[in-house]
A and B are shown apart, each in its own frame.
Chain A
Amino acid sequence: MEEIINSRVQDIEVQDYHINIGPQHPSTHGVLRLVVSLKGEIVENLQPHCGYIHRGIEKMCEKDTYPQIIHLTDRMDYLSAHMNNHAVCLLVENALEVEVPERVKYIRTIMDELNRIASHQLFFGTFANDLGATTCYMYGFRDREKVLDIFEQSTGGRMLQSYYTPGGLMRDIHPEFQKNTKAFIKYFRKKIKEYDRILTGNVIFQQRTKNVGILTKEDAIDWGVTGPTARASGLSCDVRKHHPYSAYDKVTFNEVLIPEGDTFARYMVRMHEMRESMNIIEQLIDNIPAGDYSAKMKPIIKLPAGEYFERVETARGVLGVYVISDGNKNPYRMKFRSPGFCNLGVLNKITSGFKIADLIAIFGSLDLVIPDIDR
Chain B
Amino acid sequence: MTFNIYDLTTFFQWVDEFLRGAMAPAWAVTIEWVLIGLGYLLFFAVMGLFLVYAERKVCAFMQNRIGPNRVGLYGFFQTIADFVKLMMKELIPIKQCDKFLFNLAPFIVVIVSFLALSAIPFGPALHAIDLDIGILFVTAVSAMGVIGYLLAGWSSNNKYSLVGGMRSGAQIISYELSVGLSLMTIIVLAGTMKFSEIVELQAAGWFIFRGHIPAIIAFILFLISSTAEVNRGPFDLAEADSELTAGYHTEYSGIKFGLFYVAEYMNMFIASAIAATVFLGGWMPFHITGLEGFNHVMDFIPPFIWFIGKTFFVIWVIMWFKWTFPRLRIDQLLTLEWKYLLPINLVNILIMSFLVLMGWHF
Contact = CB atoms under 8 A, between A and B. Distances in A.
A7 interface: no
A357 B163 contact: no
A356 B332 contact: no
Contacts of B330: 41, 355, 357
Interface stretch (A61-69, A127-135, A250-258): A127-135
Interface stretch (A204-212, A224-232, A294-302): A204-212
A27 B246 CA distance: 12
A19 B159 CA distance: 7
Contacts of A137: 63
B242 interface: yes
A195 B339 CA distance: 31
A87 B65 CA distance: 37
B30 interface: no
A134 B63 contact: yes
Contacts of A142: 64
- Which interface class (under 10, 10 to 19, 20 to 34, 35 or more) fits B? 20 to 34
A25 B246 CA distance: 10
B325 A133 contact: yes
Nearest to B237: A357
A135 B325 CA distance: 9
A355 B328 CA distance: 12
Chain B: interface secondary structure? Answer: loop
A209 to B, nearest CB: 9
A17 B244 CA distance: 15
A135 B324 contact: yes
Given A132-B240, A138-B63, A207 B332 contact: yes
- Which interface class (under 10, 10 to 19, 20 to 34, 35 or more) fits A? 20 to 34
A358 interface: yes
Interface string B112-126: 000000000000000
Interface string B127-169: 0000000000000000000000000000000011001000100
A199 B234 CA distance: 13
Contacts of B90: none
Nearest to B63: A138
Contact of A138 (B64, B167, B237, B324): B64
Contact of B324 (A27, A41, A133, A357): A133
Interface in B320-337: 323-332
A357 B329 contact: yes
Contact of B329 (A17, A198, A358): A358
A208 B328 contact: yes
Given A135-B62, A138-B64, A208 B243 contact: no
Interface in A169-206: 198-199, 202, 204-205
B245 interface: yes
Q: Output the residue of B63, B233, B240, B326 with the most chain A CB within 10 A.
A: B326
B242 A130 contact: yes
B233 A132 contact: yes
Interface string A241-256: 0000000000000000
A132 B236 contact: yes
A357 B65 CA distance: 28
B241 interface: yes
Interface string B232-254: 01101100111111000000000
B326 A205 contact: yes
B242 A208 contact: no
A17 B330 CA distance: 19
Interface string B42-66: 0000000000000000010011110
A128 B240 contact: no
A27 B242 contact: yes
Interface in A82-133: 128-133
Interface string A5-45: 00000000000011100000111000000000010010000
A18 B163 CA distance: 12
A355 B166 CA distance: 14
Interface string A219-239: 000000000000000000000
B133 to A, nearest CB: 36
Contacts of A134: 59, 63, 323
A57 interface: no
Contact of A135 (B159, B242, B323, B328): B323
A346 interface: no
A357 B64 CA distance: 28
A131 B245 contact: no
Contacts of A360: 242-243
Contact of A356 (B62, B63, B163, B326): B163
Given A41-B330, A133-B324, A26 B62 contact: no
Contacts of B64: 138-139, 142
Contact of B245 (A18, A26, A355): A26
A208 B332 contact: yes
Contacts of B245: 25-26
Interface in B76-118: none
Contacts of B167: 41
Given A19-B160, A132-B327, A133-B324, 17 more contacts: A18-B159, A25-B245, A27-B242, A130-B242, A132-B236, A132-B325, A142-B64, A204-B234, A204-B328, A204-B332, A207-B329, A208-B327, A355-B331, A356-B163, A357-B243, A357-B327, A360-B242
25 contacts: A17-B159, A25-B245, A26-B242, A26-B245, A27-B243, A38-B163, A128-B326, A131-B327, A132-B327, A133-B325, A134-B63, A135-B63, A135-B324, A138-B64, A139-B64, A202-B325, A204-B234, A204-B325, A205-B326, A208-B328, A355-B330, A356-B243, A357-B237, A357-B240, A358-B329
Interface of A: 17-19, 25-27, 38, 41, 128-135, 137-139, 142, 198-199, 202, 204-205, 207-208, 355-358, 360
By Cβ-Cβ distance, the 9 closest A-B pairs, closest first, are A132-B327, A138-B63, A133-B326, A131-B326, A357-B329, A27-B242, A19-B159, A132-B326, A130-B242
